[in-house]
Amino acid sequence: MDVRGGKDHGGDTAVAPGYGFECSGARHDQTSFPEDSEFYMTFLGPLTFIQPDGSPIAVVGWEQAQGAWLA
């Protein structure tokens, strides 16, 4: 997983097996998955997907994630 463009662009690249941590409120610009991936993530609070100007597109909490899983 390339976060903020990956290591080649000033961000970080997660490689299996691995572990990562980010504090609440961290911002992920240009997060991508150059290879098919499976991973486990734990969140504290909802995720907010934003536009380049910082305005929200969607806010996804556990209820929305559970609804998507059940659908």
Write the pLDDT tens digit of every residue in 25-59.
787 777 888 989 887 878 788 889 899 898 999 99
pLDDT for position 55: 94
| 7: phi then psi, degrees, rounded to nearest 5 | -60, -35
| Alpha-carbon gap, residue 25 to 50, rounded angstroms | 13
User: Residue with structure tokens 């609440």?
Assistant: 24
Q: Angle at the Cα of 28 (from 26 to 29), degrees rounded to 5?
A: 140
Average pLDDT value over all residues in the chain: 86
The model carries a pTM of: 0.58
